[in-house]
Structure 1
Amino acid sequence: MRNFLKNLGPGILVSAAFIGPGTVTVCTLAGVEFGYSLLWALLLSVFSCIILQEMSARLGVVSQKGLSEVIREEIKRPFLRVFAIILIFSAIVIGNAAYEAGNITGAVLGAQAIFGDQSLQLGSFQLNLWSLLIGFIAFLLLFSGSYKTLEKVFIGLVLLMSISFVLTAILTKPDIFEVLKGFIPTTNAAGLLTVMAIVGTTVVPYNLFLHASLVSEKWKDSSFLPTARKELVVSILLGGVVSMAILISAASAGITDVNSAADMALSLEPLFGKFATWFMALGLLAAGITSSITAPLAAAYVVQGSLGWKGGMASAKFKMVWAGVLILGVFFSSLQINPIEIIRFAQIANGILLPVIAIFLFWIVNKHSVLGQHRNSVWQNILGILVIALSVFLGIKAIVSVIGSF
Structure 2
Amino acid sequence: MSQQTRDDLTDTPPRWKLLGPGLVVAATGVGAADLVATLVAGSQYGYALLWCAVLGCLMKIVLVEGAGRWSLATGKTIYEGWTSLGRWTTWYFGPYIVVWGFVYGAAAMAGTGLPLHSLFPVLSVKAWGIISGLAGLALVWSGRYGVFEKVLGIFVLLMFVTMVGAAALTLPNLGEIATGLVPLVPGGGLVYVLSLAGGVGGTITLAAYGYWLREKGWITPRHMRVMRIDNSVAYAVTGLFVVATLIVGAELLYSAGIAVSTGDQGLLDLSQVLADRYGRAAGTVFLVGFWAAAMSSLVGVWNGVSLMFADFVGHVRGLDAEDPARRAGGTWYRAYILWLTFPPMVMLFLGQPVWLILAYGVLGAFFMPFLAVTLMWLLNSDRTPREWRNKLHSNLAMGLCALAFLALCVNEVRKAVTAA
1:106 aligned partner: 111
2:367 is equivalent to residue 353 of structure 1: yes
1:197 and 1:189 mapped to 2: Cα distance? 15
Normalising by structure 2, we get a TM-score of: 0.87
2:197 aligned partner: 199
Contact 2:137-2:302 at 8 Å conserved across structures: no
1:205 and 1:143 mapped to 2: Cα distance? 23
SS at match of 2:212: helix
2:293 and 2:344 mapped to 1: Cα distance? 15
2:404 aligned partner: 390
Structure number with greater CO (CA < 8 Å, separation at least 6) is 1
1:301 aligned partner: 307
Question: Once the 2 structures are TM-superposed, how far is the Cα of residue 275 of structure 1 from its aligned partner?
Answer: 3.0
Normalising by structure 1, we get a TM-score of: 0.90
Tell me how large the CA RMSD over aligned residues is. 2.0
Question: Once the 2 structures are TM-superposed, how far is the Cα of residue 101 of structure 1 from its aligned partner?
Answer: 1.9
2:370 is equivalent to residue 371 of structure 1: no
1:322 aligned partner: 337
- Cα deviation, 1:5-50, whole Å, max 9, x if unaligned, reads 3132211111012211110111121122111211111011111111
Question: Once the 2 structures are TM-superposed, how far is the Cα of residue 231 of structure 1 from its aligned partner?
Answer: 0.4
Amino acid at match of 1:95: W
Contact 1:105-1:288 at 8 Å conserved across structures: no
2:64 aligned partner: 53
2:417 aligned partner: 403
Question: Once the 2 structures are TM-superposed, how far is the Cα of residue 383 of structure 1 from its aligned partner?
Answer: 1.6
Question: Once the 2 structures are TM-superposed, how far is the Cα of residue 190 of structure 1 from its aligned partner?
Answer: 2.1
1:23 aligned partner: 34
Alignment of 1:201-350 (within 5 A): 201-202=199-200, 204-218=202-216, 219-254=218-253, 256-259=258-261, 260-307=266-313, 308=315, 309=319, 310-311=323-324, 312-333=327-348, 335=349, 337-350=351-364
SS at match of 2:338: helix
1:47 and 1:239 mapped to 2: Cα distance? 10
Amino acid at match of 1:374: W
Contact 1:54-1:232 at 8 Å conserved across structures: yes
1:152 and 1:163 mapped to 2: Cα distance? 17
Contact 1:96-1:296 at 8 Å conserved across structures: no
2:300 and 2:357 mapped to 1: Cα distance? 18
Structure 1 unmatched ranges of 5 or more:
120-126
2:41 and 2:170 mapped to 1: Cα distance? 16
SS at match of 1:184: coil
SS at match of 1:367: coil
Alpha carbons of 1:257 and 1:188: their partners in 2 closer, same or farther (altered >3 Å)? closer
2:46 aligned partner: 35
Question: Once the 2 structures are TM-superposed, how far is the Cα of residue 336 of structure 1 from its aligned partner?
Answer: 7.1
1:115 aligned partner: 120
After superposing on structure 2, the runs of 4+ consecutive aligned residues of structure 1 that deviate more than 4 Å are none
Question: Once the 2 structures are TM-superposed, how far is the Cα of residue 117 of structure 1 from its aligned partner?
Answer: 5.0
Structure 2 unmatched ranges of 5 or more:
1-12
Contact 2:35-2:245 at 8 Å conserved across structures: yes
Question: Once the 2 structures are TM-superposed, how far is the Cα of residue 106 of structure 1 from its aligned partner?
Answer: 1.9
Aligned residues: 391
SS at match of 2:184: coil
Amino acid at match of 2:113: V
Identity %: 23
1:132 aligned partner: 130
SS at match of 1:58: helix
1:389 and 1:203 mapped to 2: Cα distance? 18
Alpha carbons of 1:370 and 1:378: their partners in 2 closer, same or farther (altered >3 Å)? same
Alpha carbons of 1:339 and 1:243: their partners in 2 closer, same or farther (altered >3 Å)? farther
Question: Once the 2 structures are TM-superposed, how far is the Cα of residue 212 of structure 1 from its aligned partner?
Answer: 1.6
2:157 and 2:122 mapped to 1: Cα distance? 26
1:124 aligned partner: none
Q: Which moved more, 1:89-98 or 1:7-16?
A: 89-98
